[in-house]
Amino acid sequence: MATQTLYDEDGNPVEVEIPEPATPPGERTNSEWAELRKEKQARKAAEEKAAAFERRDAIRDAGIDTSSPLGKFFADKYDGEPTADAVKAAAIAAGFVETGDPAPGQAVPDPAVAASLEAADRIAAASPGAGVIEPQGSIATLDEAYLAGGTEAMIDKARELGIVIQESQ
């Protein structure tokens, strides 16, 4: 037992014996247990936050656009390994990300042909309602019509070819 000096109402010192705690050596008190629980909760929260950041980074590194509704849905539901490769593989398997590879049995397009088709699409988009123009021979046919009959003959031939001609300026 420990002793402690206290003072009575008159201010006289009094030695008081203070009993030892009832907790046997090696056992924890309630406050120690409470402190351990708090530390465990804080550690768990920190681990969950780190895992969330790791998962978010893996999803971003895999190229998933989480600003789109589809990307946000995928990010919310994905619970696999938090690596970019694993996320991308899961996104491809689920159809959320295009691989850019041709489907089995589909030929790989020639880059020159693809560029030509893209140019034709841009021209078609820029001239809605203009009709179909046959690219081969059209210019030569129009040249021949002009040489044979002048501007009016060339305009008539253009109309025959389906070229839309503006009537007034």
The angle formed by the CA atoms of residues 161, 167 and 169, to the nearest 5 degrees, is 130
- Count Cβ atoms below 10 Å from residue 141 Cβ, excluding itself: 16
**Domain shared by 95 and 115, yes or no:** no
Q: Is 21 a domain residue?
A: no
**Domain shared by 94 and 118, yes or no:** no
What does the mean pLDDT of the chain come to?
79
Q: Is 65 a domain residue?
A: yes
- What is the band of 37 on the pLDDT scale with cuts at 50, 70, 90? very high
**Domain shared by 129 and 154, yes or no:** yes
Predicted confidence (pLDDT) at residue 38 exceeds the cutoff of 90: yes
DSSP 68: S
Q: Is 137 a domain residue?
A: yes
Query: For residue 29, what pLDDT is reported?
Result: 84
Among the candidates 46, 66, 99, a domain finishes at 99
Token pair for residue 21? 């705690």
The pTM for the full model equals 0.41
Residues 6+ apart with CB under 8 A from 87: 58, 59, 61, 62, 64, 78, 80, 81
Q: Is 153 a domain residue?
A: yes
Query: For residue 99, what pLDDT is reported?
Result: 65
The structural domain count of the chain equals 2
Among the candidates 79, 99, 119, a domain finishes at 99
CA dihedral angle for residue 137, residue 142, residue 147, residue 149, rounded to 10 degrees: 140
Domain, as residue range, for 40? 31-99
Q: Is 81 a domain residue?
A: yes
Q: Mean of the pLDDT values across residues 28-35?
A: 87
Q: Is 121 a domain residue?
A: yes
Q: Is 71 a domain residue?
A: yes
